[in-house]
């Protein structure tokens, strides 16, 4: 939500997938608000909450091929691509980030 106007522009959050035994982070924002850093800011806050408050050890992000902005954002946050997969018949890459790698990245941004 934009604090200046109260407009809902998208969101980010965590989902626990019992089937896979893993926590996934996701983000989605209205196209008009892409490229403004909102996904990066939201993902950082959600990751800090998940790794800190919830104490999860690792999270994944499933990104469909061709979503270059999401791929770039995941890499900026420190995610690495461990494997390829498909979701609903669409090819994607499953990125992963450990709590240790997140903390190391946060330390670098504070320097």
Residuewise pLDDT in 10s, the chain (111 residues)? 788 888 889 889 999 999 889 999 998 898 888 888 888 889 999 999 999 999 999 999 999 998 888 898 888 888 998 788 888 888 999 999 999 999 888 755 544
Quick one: CA dihedral 100, 22, 96, 62, positive or negative?
Answer: negative
User: How many Cα atoms are found within 13 Å in the side-chain-facing hemisphere of 28?
Assistant: 4
Residue 5: predicted pLDDT: 85
pLDDT score for 111: 43
Q: pTM of the full predicted structure?
A: 0.84
Instruction: Give yes or no for a contact between 96 and 80, defined as CB atoms under 8 angstroms apart.
Output: yes
Give the chain's length. Answer: 111
């Amino acid at each position: 939500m934009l604090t200046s106007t109260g407009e809902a522009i998208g969101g980010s959050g965590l989902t626990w997938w019992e089937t896979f035994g893993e926590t996934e982070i996701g983000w989605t924002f209205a196209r008009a608000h892409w490229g403004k850093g909102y996904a990066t800011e939201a993902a950082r806050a959600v990751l800090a909450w998940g790794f800190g408050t919830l104490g999860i050890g690792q999270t994944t992000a499933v990104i469909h091929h061709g979503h270059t902005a999401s791929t770039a954002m995941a890499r900026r946050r420190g995610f690495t691509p461990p494997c390829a997969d498909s979701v609903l018949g669409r090819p994607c890459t499953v990125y992963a980030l450990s709590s240790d790698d997140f903390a190391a990245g946060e330390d670098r941004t504070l320097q």
